[in-house]
Amino acid sequence: MKRSKLARRQLRNHARYRGRNDLNIVPMLDVMVILAFFLIFTAVFSKTSILEVHLPGPGAQAAAQAPSLELEVIVRRGGLEVADRNVGVLEAVPATATGQDVVRLSEYLEGIKDRYPDKTSATLLVAEDVDYDTIVQVMDAVRVRQSNQGGRVVRRELFPQIALGDAPT
């Protein structure tokens, strides 16, 4: 059976476009897999925390806090200074002919420990020209007080948590 020119042209056009109206879901699946991966991993790492804050009313006064002791022992070649960061220098202990007077320092720190029994930390500020042996001796005097009572050595813990720093110039 012979077809007309128009029928052959239509068959040719339909053959050319056959299969192009199918739905291709492979790219859509690729996007969904990546999106699911992204959502799962971002959901694991984002955590919401709630913090309850109780703010005072508009007429409330702040409670006055007594400033706490911020103990500093400043070590210089000419002597030692016991200071409170909030107040200033409390006691100056001059160096002796044999070196630093760590016994007098330890006695003074014991008096401070009696006034502030809960305080366990001190800062040791050291000048550049102080030798290592002096630093160790002062650190031991700040940590522990050793005294003789009745022929035996008694050790009392003073400020065992020591931080080191540079002395102000």
Domains in the chain: boundaries: 5-45, 71-166
> Does pTM surpass 0.85?
no
| 8 A C-beta contact, residue 74 and residue 125 | yes
Say how far apart CA 22 and CA 45 lie, in whole Å.
40
H-only helix segments in the chain = 5-16, 26-45, 102-115, 132-143
- Residue-wise pLDDT tens for the chain (169 aa)? 677 888 888 888 877 766 666 677 898 999 999 999 888 877 766 566 677 777 778 888 877 776 788 999 999 988 999 999 888 889 999 988 888 888 899 989 999 999 988 899 999 999 999 999 999 999 999 999 888 888 888 888 999 899 999 988 7
- Record the tokens describing residue 6, joined without a space: 């128009």
| 8 A C-beta contact, residue 160 and residue 141 | no
Say how far apart CA 99 and CA 140 lie, in whole Å.
15
Q: On the CB side of 99, how many CA atoms lie within 13 Å of its CA?
A: 12
Say how far apart CA 80 and CA 136 lie, in whole Å.
14
Q: Token match 């050319």: residue?
A: 16
- Record the tokens describing residue 48, joined without a space: 């919401």
| 8 A C-beta contact, residue 67 and residue 118 | no
